[in-house]
A and B are shown apart, each in its own frame.
Chain A
Amino acid sequence: MATEISDIDLWHNLIKGNRIALNNIYSRFFSTLYQYGMRMLQDEDAVRDCIQNLFVRLWINHNKLTPVNNLRGYLISSLRNNIINFRAVEDRFQKVDLESNEVFDLKFTVESVFIQKEEQTEQVKQLSQAMNKLTARQKEIIYLRYFEELDYAEISEIMDLSVKGTYKLSARALEALREVLNIDKFVLLAILLNLKR
């Protein structure tokens, strides 16, 4: 649609109290939020609660909202906060070990529509195995970078890290990977996020 309203205008209309704008935001970003939520929680009912809470709060506080640069990043960040609160409540009741509880559901496989048969070399398979051993937070960074196409500043903000923290996290991941697999350092560097800029 050529005349589709921009994210910024949609957001502006919501701040002014337009209910239709809220519905449009939902339609536009439902997939993004659902995918991200499911990868964080792996529980559809929980994701449902978090998304519902996110949108109801958006409406209740609509006249206190401020303009945003990247609506996608803002919504992911809000959903993430909802999920963290949800987890905090769950943990209080279930006494589950915090560390083991955190999973980011992102799997790397050579059996993909992207990858042709002749590309499925032993090295690529090893690479995918190594990548699957990344921590939840490292996977989350990769997801936000390549699936949601957010930049490092936005990812840092969402994950409550300083940009430096993002670097550090990757450096540690690099070390861990090197221990798991004896892979070319260049390849490793490449897999983990490129931090040159």
Chain B
Amino acid sequence: MTNKPYNSFQTEDFLADEDFLRFVKYSYSNDVMFWDSWVLESPENIKSYHEALIQLKLILSDREIEVSPSFRENLLMDINDSINRFERKRKNKLRTRIWLSGAASIILVATYVSWYFMSTVVIRAGYAENRLVHLPDGSEVRLNGNSVLSYPRAFNWKPRREVSLDGEAYFKVKHLNLTPDQIKRGELFVAVTNGVSVQVLGTEFNLKERHNKTNVTLINGKIQVQSKKTGKQYTLAPGNLIDFDEKGDKVQRKETAETQTAWLSGKMIVNQTKVSDILREFEDLYGYKVILDSPALGQKKIDGAISIRSEESLLFTLKNILNVDIKKEGNTIYLKNRN
């Protein structure tokens, strides 16, 4: 502090000087010593010094406001209490949030699981459509036109593999069973229609149900067919087929396994088949209504293989075999004798 030009200080300079302020305010002994000796030198600006001194004393003259020690302690306690309350609330909020998000995810999982186990997968092949379906167990199903296949979403979790069919389909069922005398859970495969239930382990078979008439044709392996309406059971060997009528009774028809699976290669094999039956098949697969000019035409029987890959080729064949004119109006097809 000694290097300051105190000898040339004005009153306001003293008032602005921190060392001077400290001296007046606190009277530390070394400050008092310094200023006492400075005054003893009788500097020219001693008057300014005295003025500044009295003014500063006046400025600092106010008393200190008294406060009780308990006020100070209680206030600190209150502050800490508020902070503790706040911290607890924050923790609780965090806990609630964690709990809520946990509950939310459990509900989500539960919803998904129940949806998974309750819901059904539905696969629909439209008119003139032909779809290959891969089942979750590795089995394959070829779905013919205008047919619907459905199975539970949790297919592999069920005690038996079960599918429902409306229409026609060719099944290649994956064989899961290794010890035939001991059939385990999930190894049995069941295909169900309105009329029948077909139980298999692993085989290839064709299943068809149209207009409540059912046909089951076995290609490989062994299957058990039950008529749901009569409850009777039939066991089929490869190459065998079985037909049921509307009442669920077994009926004899002169078809072969070959004719039943011809659709897989885009053909219809007819063997002394009535035209009306052929047209009905056409209606089922392509969604048309066919109207014949004369009922006699429907009774006509034909032999051979007809391509059913497209409606055009099928209609073209019929036109030539039957010698008719064909007129299409919307969803209706009229067959008219040419003569």
Interface of A toward B, CB cutoff 8 Å: 19, 22-23, 26-27, 30-31, 34-35, 38-39, 44, 48, 51-52, 55-56, 59-60, 105-112, 114-115, 119, 124, 127-128, 131, 142, 146-147, 149, 186-187, 189-191, 193-194, 196-197
Q: Is there contact, CB below 8 Å, between A119 and B65?
A: no
Q: Which residue of B lies closest to A111 (CB)?
A: B61
Q: Is there contact, CB below 8 Å, between A190 and B52?
A: yes
Q: Is there contact, CB below 8 Å, between A128 and B61?
A: yes
Q: Is there contact, CB below 8 Å, between A146 and B86?
A: no
Partner of A149, one of B18, B75, B80: B18
Assembly CA distance A34 to B86 (angstroms): 24
B83 near A: Cβ within 8 Å?
Answer: yes
Q: Which residue of B lies closest to A127 (CB)?
A: B58
Please give the number of chain B residues whose Cβ is less than 8 angstroms from any Cβ of chain A in the complex: 34
Q: Is there contact, CB below 8 Å, between A26 and B58?
A: no
Give the secondary structure class of B's interface. helix
Report the minimal beta-carbon distance from B58 to chain A, rounded to whole angstroms: 5
Assembly CA distance A187 to B55 (angstroms): 8
Partner of A194, one of B13, B24, B72, B80: B13
B283 near A: Cβ within 8 Å?
Answer: no
Task: Tell which of B18, B67, B79 has the most Cβ of chain A within 10 Å.
Answer: B79
Q: Is there contact, CB below 8 Å, between B61 and A146?
A: no
- A51-B75, A149-B18 are known contacts. Are A110 and B55 too (CB-CB below 8 A)? no
B296 near A: Cβ within 8 Å?
Answer: no
**Complex interface: chain A residues within 8 A of B54 (CB):** 115, 119, 124
- A34-B67, A196-B16 are known contacts. Are A114 and B60 too (CB-CB below 8 A)? yes
Q: Is there contact, CB below 8 Å, between A108 and B83?
A: no
Q: Which residue of B lies closest to A55 (CB)?
A: B79
Report the minimal beta-carbon distance from B330 to chain A, rounded to whole angstroms: 75
Assembly CA distance A196 to B78 (angstroms): 45
**Complex interface: chain A residues within 8 A of B82 (CB):** 52, 56
